[in-house]
């Protein structure tokens, strides 16, 4: 994978002030990331298997929910930078059009995408960026509960969506990860007041009890491996599903069954992802 370290360095240095304004809650946990143009650090460790049977070593730690493993948080900028410094390998079918994994590069909007805070969720990644990161981490982009793709037409069904299963635990009445009733300050939606992303996993109330999985409501939208044909233009224009809402959304857009369809090449500052896997 070609690496545009010098370009990333120039953008990151110019945007320290912007990133500081975008991150409010959890600020005590945030420290500037290394200059992306500096010499490469040691490669990310090879993935291993944790005691709970889930992959570990690349990306967030994983929680085990039955046979399903899911990242405890959204993938952070620090973790994504490790991926950018490594060789991810060949693109899977449907993603050969994707020539760069740098956030926002294809849309020409890196100033809104290159946070200098390593624990913030990465944003401005498209569907194929997310897919490749998960494969590199020996995981997969969350799709069906037993792997593969989720049912594009049925986003709230925990029997066909691993993401929905992790969010509501299979309880139809659980509209939000924390319960059935909207709580404005539990997760990082618009009503929380952070006015931007917060460090991944810092809102202790934004979880389904005993799951150990955080931020499935708000912070950033998350790509899901649920796809459908688009309106032409090749694989890049085919649709994929986003889940969970972001820090710009209010109550109804932060539910466990919330979804939005976008082209696979869609990139936006409040769009990130997490990965899933099958327990060993």
Q: Tally Cβ neighbours within 10 Å of residue 166.
A: 26
Rounded to a whole number of angstroms, the distance between the first and last alpha carbons of the chain is 29
Domain extent at residue 78: 5-39+47-278
Output the pTM of the full model. 0.84
Kindly report the CA angle at 42 between 37 and 47, in degrees rounded to 5? Answer: 120
Whole-angstrom Cα distance, residue 121 to residue 151?
Answer: 26
Starting at the edge strand that comes first in sequence, how are the strands of the sheet with 68-71 ordered? 62-65, 68-71, 275-278, 140-141
What 3 state SS string does 173-201 have? CCCECCECCCCCCCCECHHHCCCCCCCCC
> What is the count of structural domains for the chain?
1
Please say whether the beta carbons of 15 and 33 come within 8 A. no
Q: In Å, how far are 7, 114, 168, 242 from 239, measured between CA atoms?
A: 30, 25, 24, 10
Contacts of 172 (CB under 8 A, 6+ apart): none
| β-pair partners for 260 | 242
Give which of 75, 76, 66, 46 is closest to 158, Cα–Cα. 66
Report the CATH number at residue 131. 3.90.1580
One digit per residue, the tens of pLDDT, for the chain of length 280 reads 433 333 333 333 333 333 333 333 333 333 333 334 434 445 677 889 999 999 999 999 999 999 999 999 999 999 999 999 998 888 888 899 999 999 987 666 556 676 668 899 999 999 999 999 999 999 999 999 999 999 999 988 999 999 999 999 999 899 999 999 999 999 999 999 999 999 999 999 999 998 999 999 999 999 999 999 987 778 899 999 999 999 999 999 999 999 999 999 999 999 999 999 999 9
């Amino acid at each position: 994978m070609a690496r545009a370290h010098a370009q990333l360095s120039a953008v990151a240095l110019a945007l320290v002030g912007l990133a500081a304004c975008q991150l409010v809650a959890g600020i005590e946990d945030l420290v500037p990331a290394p200059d992306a143009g500096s010499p490469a650090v040691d490669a990310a460790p090879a993935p291993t298997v944790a005691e709970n049977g889930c992959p570990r070593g690349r990306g967030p730690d994983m929680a085990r929910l039955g046979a399903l493993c899911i990242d405890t948080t959204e993938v952070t900028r620090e973790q994504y930078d490790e991926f950018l410094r490594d060789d991810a390998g060949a693109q899977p079918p449907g993603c050969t059009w994707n020539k760069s994994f740098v956030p926002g590069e294809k849309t020409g909007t890196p100033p809104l995408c290159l946070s200098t805070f390593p624990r913030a969720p990465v944003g401005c990644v498209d569907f194929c960026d997310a897919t490749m990161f998960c494969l590199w981490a020996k995981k997969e982009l969350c799709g069906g509960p037993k792997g593969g793709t989720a049912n594009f037409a049925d986003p709230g069904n925990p029997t066909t969506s691993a993401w929905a299963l992790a969010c509501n635990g299979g309880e139809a009445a659980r509209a939000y990860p924390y319960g059935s009733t909207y709580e404005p300050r539990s997760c990082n939606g618009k009503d929380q007041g952070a006015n931007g992303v917060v460090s991944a996993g810092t809102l202790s109330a934004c979880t389904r009890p005993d799951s150990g999985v955080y931020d499935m409501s708000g912070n950033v939208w998350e790509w899901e491996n649920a796809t459908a044909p688009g309106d032409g233009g090749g694989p890049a224009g085919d649709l994929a599903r986003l889940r969970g809402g972001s820090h710009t959304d209010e109550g109804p857009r932060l539910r466990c069954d919330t979804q939005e369809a976008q082209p696979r090449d869609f990139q936006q500052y409040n769009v990130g992802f997490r990965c899933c896997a099958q327990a060993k």
